[in-house]
Structure 1
C-alpha cells in the first residue's frame, strides 16, 4: 500500500507528465513561429534603416486582368497555407505520439498507431480536396487572365489610330474588362476565355447564332450573356453621361480571344468578335465623337482606372 504522500507525489508526477505531453509539441510550434517572427522583425528593422521609397508621385493605371491577378495572388496565398498545414499537422500528430510514448510512458499499441494514422489521413484528405478546388480555380483564372491580357494587347494597338483604351474598370456589380473610346463611339468589351478541346478539333471555330442567342462551340452551345453585357454598358453610359454632361452611348462587345468567327446568323444587340485585328469594329465606322469629346470621356475613365498605388511609398500625412 502507498502512503498518502506517495499517492500525492504520483498524482503530481502524472499531472506534470500529461502536461508535458501536451505542451512540448505546442512549444516546438511556438519556437518555430517565434523564429519566423524574429526574422520578419529584423528584416523590417533593416528596411526601416535603409529605407528608399518609390519615386512615383501618382497612381498607376490598371492593366488588363488586374482584378484576376489580385485574385490569383490570394489563391497562391491560400495554396501556400494549405500546403504548410499538410506538412505541419502530420508532424504535429507524430510529435504528440512520441510525447505520449516517451514522456507519458504509454506502451505502443495498434490502437494508438491506427488512431494517429487515421487522424493524419482525415486531415490530409480534407486539405487535399480543398487544394484540388483551389488548383482548378487557379487554372481557370490563369486561362481567363491570359485571355484578358491578349485582348488588352490587341486593343492597345488601336491607340495608333487615335483610340483611347482603358482596362479593368471597377463598378458595383464587378468590373468591365476593357473600354475603347474612338471617334465611332464608346465600347465596353467583355473578354471570355474558353479552352479548345485537345483532340478531334483542328481549328478553334465559333458560330454565333443571334436568332437563338447562342454561341456554338465545337463541343457545346452556350447562351450569349446579354444581361451581363447590357448591365456593364448601361452603368458606364450613365456614369459618363453624368460626368461629361451630355448623352454618351456605350456599345457592348463580347470578345473571344483565339476563336475564329466562322459564321454569324442574324443580328443581335451584342457584337461578338475575335479581338485580333479588330480595327474595323472600332475605327472604320461613322464619326460620333469629336476629338474634344474623346478627351472628355477619356479623362473621366482615367479617374476610374488610375488607382493602383505604387509599392514602398508612405502615405502622405498633414504636416504640423
Structure 2
C-alpha cells in the first residue's frame, strides 16, 4: 500500500515535470536559430508549447488510468480486510499487507489469517467487470485455470497466490522451525465464483465467502504453540523497518 501511494506522487510530479522538460528542451534547440529567423523562432516556440501540451495530456491520461487502477486495487483490499475482521472474534489473528523479501525483490502478502492450527495467505485481485453482460460478474474455476466472461482464461493469479504461500511456508520453517501447511486463497471482490473444487491447489472464492470458507475448509495442522510462533513471526515482519519499502 505504501508503494501505491508513492506511485501516485510520482504520477502527479510527472504531470508537472514532463511537459516542462519537453518545452525547455525544444525551446533550447530552437533558440540556436539566427536572429534573422525571429518569425520562425516564434513559430517554433509555439510548436514547443504545443508539443509540451500534448505530452502533458498524454501523461495525464496515463496517470489517471494508473490512479483509477490503484484506487480500485486499494478499495478491493479494504473490502476484503473488512470481511476478515469478524474472524478476530473467532480467535484468529489477521494481518494485512505483510512485507516480505524474496531474493532481491520486495513484495507483500495482501492478507494472512492464522488461528486454530491453520495458516492462510489471501491474495486479492480487483478486476473491472464487463459492461452490458448479465453474466459478466461470474468467474469460473476448474481447479487449474480461471475462465472469465467471454472465454478468456488466466493462471497468473493462481501462480502468484501459490508463490506467496510457498514463500511464507519456507520463511516459517527457516525462522521458526515450524513446518506449516500454508493454504493459498485467491479472491476477486465483487465477482461470483463458479466451481472451485476443494482439492484444488489454490482455493478461489468470492470475498463474501472468505470467512465461512476459512472456518470450514482447512483442517488444523499446527499445535497451539506452533500457531503462537507463527503469529509472533508475522508481528515481527509487520514491524520490521527493513521491510518497510514494499507495496
> Where on the TM-score scale, by shorter chain, does this alignment land: which range?
0.7 to 0.9
Structure 1: tracts of 5 or more residues without a match:
1-65, 310-320
2:205 aligned with 1:276: no
Moved over 4 A (4+): 87-94, 104-108
2:142 aligned with 1:142: no
Over residues 79-124 of structure 1, what are the superposed CA-to-partner deviations in whole Å (9 max), with x where a residue is unaligned?
2342365479769999xx9x9xxxx997963x23321111112222
| In structure 1, distance between residues paired with 2:164 and 2:202 | 12
Aligned to 1:183: 116
| In structure 1, distance between residues paired with 2:108 and 2:9 | 22
1:1-320 correspondence to structure 2 within 5 Å: 66=1, 69-83=2-16, 86=19, 109=39, 111-169=40-98, 170-172=100-102, 173=105, 174-201=107-134, 204-210=137-143, 213-225=144-156, 226-264=158-196, 267-284=199-216, 285-307=218-240
User: Cα RMSD between the aligned structures?
Assistant: 3.2
Over residues 44-88 of structure 1, what are the superposed CA-to-partner deviations in whole Å (9 max), with x where a residue is unaligned?
xxxxxxxxxxxxxxxxxxxxxx2xx43333333432342365479
Looking at CA atoms only, which structure, 1 or 2, has the larger radius of gyration?
1
Structure 2: tracts of 5 or more residues without a match:
243-247
Q: What's the offset of the Cα at 1:290? A: 3.4
| In structure 2, distance between residues paired with 1:252 and 1:222 | 20
Give the structure-2-normalised TM-score.
Answer: 0.79
Q: Secondary structure at the match of 1:190?
A: strand
| In structure 2, distance between residues paired with 1:241 and 1:81 | 43
Q: Secondary structure at the match of 2:94?
A: strand
Q: 1:297 to 1:107 in 2, by over 3 A?
A: closer
Q: Secondary structure at the match of 2:204?
A: strand
Q: Secondary structure at the match of 1:175?
A: strand
The answer as to whether partners of 1:183 and 1:283 remain within 8 angstroms in 2 is no
| In structure 2, distance between residues paired with 1:149 and 1:195 | 16
